Every structure is written in structure tokens, then in C-alpha cells.
Amino acid sequence: MKDISASLHFEFEVHGGDFNKAGDASSRVKRILQQIGANPTVIRRVAVACYEAEMNVVIHARHGFVMLDADPSRVLIVVEDEGPGIEDIAMAMTPGFSTAPDSVREMGFGAGMGLPNMKNCSSLMEIKSEKGVGTMVRMVFENA
Ligand SMILES: Nc1ncnc2c1ncn2[C@@H]1O[C@H](COP(=O)(O)OP(=O)(O)OP(=O)(O)O)[C@@H](O)[C@H]1O
Ligand SMILES: [Mg+2]
């Protein structure tokens, strides 16, 4: 029988445009992983990738969720939003590509490095997006 105590699941809401609360979901994820004694290297990678994904919802979308699912072998992060979607995912993945407006660049974002960073930090990353509907990013972090 599956030991349900060996896996955990959490969801946190993210509001587009809310720079005061930006980063809160990622901080919660990091703290939970620290509390369950996850591998520090995995925690660092998840924290960086999750923060970038959360910021993309804050900057580029209207509303979304960060979902954490962890078991002893891996951490799964799914970030799903309602927003404009990404028309050309390959272009969005190109280092330096950004559609962030000047107001956001003035805050230090918009280098176009979030998605490439998320790919580097995770063992596996998948993006699904529909123009005018929203975006889903799924990242797996192997505990190795
Ligand atoms: N959740 C999203 N919804 C809509 N578009 C997105 C989303 N995430 C990324 N994008 C698009 O992909 C581009 C590249 O994203 P990326 O995270 O690499 O850079 P950035 O957010 O523009 O800047 P940085 O992450 O360096 O602050 C964005 O500028 C935006 O056009
Ligand atoms: Mg970004």
C-alpha cells in the first residue's frame, strides 16, 4: 500500500501585478522543503526556479497558482496562470528575450533570463500555453 505520509502537496495563489506579495509563494515552498529536510542543493534549485516562475505570473499574467508536490525521490512544481499566454515558446526561452515593459525593467526585472534559468535549475521543464488563455509550467527536480 502507498505510504501517503511520504508525499505532500501545497498550493499558493499568485496575483498578477502585486509586487508587494511577489515572492511569497516561493518563500513558502522553500520553507516547507527545509522543514521536511530536503537536500539543500535541491532546495536551492527549486527556490530559484519557483521564484522566476512566480515572478512571471506577477509580471506577465493576471492570476495563478504555484503548486508543490514533494516525495522522497523528487520535487514537482507546477505554476499555472490565466493571462496572455506565450505565443512562441522557443522565442520566449531564448536568453535575453523579454516583453517586460519599462516600468517593470525599472524594478530590475525583464532581463529575459527567467525561463532559461528555470530550465537550468530543473531536471525537466515543460511549458504549455494558449494565447489569450494562460500558461502552465511544470518542473521536476530529481533528488539526486
Ligand atoms: N506566465 C507567462 N505569461 C505570459 N508570458 C510569459 C510568461 N512567462 C514568460 N512569458 C514571456 O516570455 C518572456 C521571457 O520570460 P523570462 O522569464 O525568460 O524573462 P522576463 O520575465 O521577461 O525577464 P526576467 O525573468 O529576466 O526578469 C517574457 O518577457 C514574456 O514575454
Ligand atoms: Mg521572468
pLDDT of 124 > 70? The answer is yes
**86 C-alpha to center of ligand 1: Å?**
8
* Distance in angstroms (rounded) separating the CA atoms of residues 136 and 126: 8
Residue 122 pLDDT level (bands cut at 50, 70, 90): very high
**4 C-alpha to center of ligand 2: Å?**
34
Atom of ligand 1 nearest to the CA of 61: 3
**Nearest Cα residue to atom 22 of ligand 1:** 98
pLDDT per residue as tens digits for the range 50-61: 999 999 999 999
Residue 134 Cβ < 6 Å to ligand 1: no
pLDDT of 48 > 80? The answer is yes
Cell (9 digits) for 143:
533528488
Q: Which pTM value belongs to this model?
A: 0.96
Dihedral sign for Cα 95, 16, 67, 21, please.
positive
Cell (9 digits) for 116:
532559461
Superfamily of the domain at 15-142: Histidine kinase-like ATPase, C-terminal domain (3.30.565.10)
First to last CA, the chain: 25
Residue 6 pLDDT level (bands cut at 50, 70, 90): confident
* Distance in angstroms (rounded) separating the CA atoms of residues 73 and 39: 10
Collapsed DSSP state (helix, strand, coil) of residue 66 = strand
* pLDDT attached to residue 1: 52
Helix runs in the chain, H state only: 24-35, 40-60, 89-93, 102-105, 114-121
Domain residue ranges of the chain, discontinuous segments joined by +: 15-142
Residue 65 Cβ < 6 Å to ligand 1: no
Q: How buried is residue 134: exposed, middle or buried, by Cβ count under 10 Å (0-12/13-18/19+)?
A: buried
Closest ligand relative to 117 C-alpha: 1
